[in-house]
Structure 1
Amino acid sequence: MGTKMESTGIEGASEAQHSLESHEIEWSKVGIMRALIQREDPSAKEIDELMIRRFLRARDLDIEKASSLFLKYLSWRRAFVPNGSISASEIVNELAHNKMFMQGLDKMGRPIVVAFGGRHKPTKGSLDEFKRFVVYSLDKICARMPKGREKFVCIGDLEGWGFSNSDIHGYLAALSILQDCYPERLGKFFIVNPPYLFMTAWKVVYPFIDNKTKKKIIFVENKKLRPTLLSDIDESQLPDIYGGKLPLVPIQEC
């Protein structure tokens, strides 16, 4: 018995040591990457180390690949968000659809976002405006991150979704922005109330989703909706439309 307990203790200490070493390696790579990207783009000195670490993790700690992605991000940000942020006046059509909400935290302290796919009207706005809406929303979400948290949870509600809501170009643009410009921000993505028709669009989009993101996507059966959400979200934090206690707040009011 004593030998077994001693063995378990040794294994635990070994795992802790390995975790510490991995942590040190990761942060040493953050330092190397910072030096590289600042040499190429001096504006990178304003970027915090947690952001650099997210890009590194998105590329499995490959400094060269992560640095390339990060430099592209800095260039994109300057061109697409020249004023530093997207204003509500730039996305009037998108906000009018009232399709993105935020309220509450999951059991890990991550902000909860709810997006209604059936309210997306691609014919009422341009692709550029939709992309600005995506950036506006992600910036809002990131600004509301509690201290010590870097990821959010999204519930994609597809009730009422039909072909008039289908927007492959928009979905791919949003996916590209999320994966390439906000890496390691999505914690989990619940897809709820998906109609059979949606799978046609899903088959087109799925190959463009990177493997890390694919692992975070969960299709929820209608009959298991509430218990599935409650496994990650306390009732006090669950949106009231799913039987919880919190009313949804439009993203523009957050």
Structure 2
Amino acid sequence: MEWGTGTESTLLMLSTVLIGCAVVAVQAFLASPPARASTRAAASSACSPPASGATSVGRAGGSRETQPAQSRAADVSEVRLDELRALVKGQIIVDPEDPDPHASDATLRRFLRAVGGEDVKHAAQRLVSTARWRFENKPFLWTCEWCERRPGHHTWRQVGQDKLGRPVIYSCLAQAATHRYTATCAVRHMVYAIEQAVRTMPDGEDGWLWICDFSGFTLRACDLSVASGVIHIVAAHYPERLALFACVNAPRLFMPAWRAICKLVDPRTTRKTRFVASRDEARALLCDILPAEDADWTMDELTANLVRPMAVCQSCDGFWRPPSAGATHDPRGTPTYVQRYLGADRARAGDCLRRHRPHPNIALSLAGDDDAAKEAVPPVVLAPRAPCATAQAS
């Protein structure tokens, strides 16, 4: 299979995606307050597809959502920050077990940015509500029972980091054990992934990146209740966490509809989305935002997941297992991520609340709780790729 191709009739898939995304876009718009100072020109610019050679998002002049948190802090005035701090004083319920207590200035700034930086009362209401939700539901203790029952049920997993050290989450429908999700299971796994990603964020950073590989997309994956459930939770309790949403191998015909949908959505949200449909575009984007090791790993993963039939080690039965001897690619994550978070000492310390836990099936295999993980699977053979240095120079 080649980059940019689908597994269903393009027109049929497009019609379903257009309807689904239009509804989801409206839901997202209603769930998030509109930007106070947004303009039609800003929305138009944010929704325009990148021109050839112009996929940069991490350099000067790029999207501010992909800039360091220190520079984004300027979006919130100290006056409004002091006002919010005073409003929520004594109202934030802090769970002593929570590794991410919502009482820091960084959290206050996120909730202020989510309401445009000015509506302090609304930001206070949302922050207090989220603190109560965390205290009552303890999302930091969640896991994904669906993945535990059926390995590979979800593929969303942290695999590395960007140039700022922020966690990168990758997902690919072709690797999933099913395309029939419920809102409950999708929210459960997404929250697990976000909560674990937060534990790896460097000091001063509060965002994560999502690389969504549309390879293997089918009409069964279009479930508005699932999208709505995820959007609601992320918008309500994890505002301003998503720094970049990279859509790889999405149909090109979707772009005109996306530009129309963007007129209903806060420009801050659309600026975080990038569509790439070719190998060169993907390499340019990845090399711009990721360290060379992470960009190379992602290109290898994207390429391996286009191969049909899919190698067992890349499928729902293999992407979470340790690779076989001699394998040149580990679908669990980059070499640095694997060394840092999947080592034996990390597996033994997996129950520590402040330590990062990987994808549930990876965690189970590391702990020796899954007999299937002990079975060897043939490694995938990948063709040579151009390094990032070459891609950037060309």
Partner of 1:229: 286
- Displacement of 1:121 in angstroms is 3.5
**Structure 2: how far apart are the matches of 1:25 and 1:162?**
42
Alignment partner of 1:65 out of 122, 126, 141: 122
**Structure 2: how far apart are the matches of 1:209 and 1:164?**
26
The equivalences for 1:41-56 within 5 A come to 41-43=92-94, 47-56=103-112
Aligned length: 233
- Residues 167 and 200, structure 2, Cα contact 8 Å, conserved in 1: yes
The equivalences for 1:112-191 within 5 A come to 112-118=168-174, 119=176, 121=178, 123=180, 126-191=182-247
Alignment partner of 1:102 out of 139, 158, 176: 158
**Closer/same/farther in 2, CA of residues 104 and 87 from structure 1, 3 Å limit:** closer
**Closer/same/farther in 2, CA of residues 157 and 184 from structure 1, 3 Å limit:** same
**Closer/same/farther in 2, CA of residues 113 and 84 from structure 1, 3 Å limit:** closer
CA deviations over 1:176-234 (Å, ceiling 9, x no partner): 222221111111111001146978x9799978854312110011122422222212223
- Residues 236 and 246, structure 1, Cα contact 8 Å, conserved in 2: no
**Structure 1: how far apart are the matches of 2:172 and 2:289?**
20
The equivalences for 1:208-223 within 5 A come to 210-223=266-279
- Displacement of 1:56 in angstroms is 0.8
**Closer/same/farther in 2, CA of residues 164 and 189 from structure 1, 3 Å limit:** same
**Closer/same/farther in 2, CA of residues 95 and 54 from structure 1, 3 Å limit:** farther
- Residues 110 and 152, structure 1, Cα contact 8 Å, conserved in 2: yes
Partner of 1:251: 359
**Structure 2: how far apart are the matches of 1:94 and 1:74?**
32
**Closer/same/farther in 2, CA of residues 95 and 152 from structure 1, 3 Å limit:** farther
CA deviations over 1:17-62 (Å, ceiling 9, x no partner): xx99x85973343232122123444549862221111101111222
- Residues 155 and 191, structure 1, Cα contact 8 Å, conserved in 2: yes
**Structure 1: how far apart are the matches of 2:244 and 2:107?**
19
Letter in structure 2 aligned against 1:230: C
- Displacement of 1:243 in angstroms is 3.7
User: What percent of counterpart residues are identical?
Assistant: 22
Which structure's residues are more often helix, by fraction? 1
- Displacement of 1:153 in angstroms is 1.5
**Structure 2: how far apart are the matches of 1:50 and 1:24?**
12
- Residues 159 and 195, structure 1, Cα contact 8 Å, conserved in 2: no
- Displacement of 1:150 in angstroms is 1.2
TM-score of the aligned structures, taking structure 2 as reference length: 0.50
Letter in structure 2 aligned against 1:37: V
TM-score of the aligned structures, taking structure 1 as reference length: 0.75
Partner of 2:84: 33
**Structure 1: how far apart are the matches of 2:253 and 2:148?**
29
Letter in structure 2 aligned against 1:236: E
Letter in structure 1 aligned against 2:222: S
- Displacement of 1:90 in angstroms is 7.0
Determine if the alignment matches structure 1 residue 78 to structure 2 residue 186: no
- Displacement of 1:136 in angstroms is 0.8
Report the 3-state secondary structure (helix = DSSP H, G, I; strand = E; otherwise coil) of the residue aligned with 1:231. helix
Report the 3-state secondary structure (helix = DSSP H, G, I; strand = E; otherwise coil) of the residue aligned with 2:78. helix
Pick 1 or 2: higher relative contact order, CA cutoff 8 A, min separation 6.
2
- Residues 92 and 132, structure 2, Cα contact 8 Å, conserved in 1: no
**Closer/same/farther in 2, CA of residues 222 and 231 from structure 1, 3 Å limit:** same
- Residues 192 and 221, structure 1, Cα contact 8 Å, conserved in 2: yes
Unaligned runs of 5+ in 2: 1-69, 96-100, 302-327, 333-357, 364-394
The more displaced of 188-197 and 211-220 is 188-197
Considering only aligned residues, what root-mean-square deviation do their CA atoms show, in Å? Answer: 3.7
Report the 3-state secondary structure (helix = DSSP H, G, I; strand = E; otherwise coil) of the residue aligned with 2:212. strand
**Structure 1: how far apart are the matches of 2:182 and 2:220?**
15
Letter in structure 1 aligned against 2:135: R
**Structure 1: how far apart are the matches of 2:264 and 2:154?**
27
**Closer/same/farther in 2, CA of residues 91 and 248 from structure 1, 3 Å limit:** closer
Unaligned runs of 5+ in 1: 1-18
The more displaced of 59-68 and 203-212 is 203-212
**Closer/same/farther in 2, CA of residues 91 and 236 from structure 1, 3 Å limit:** closer
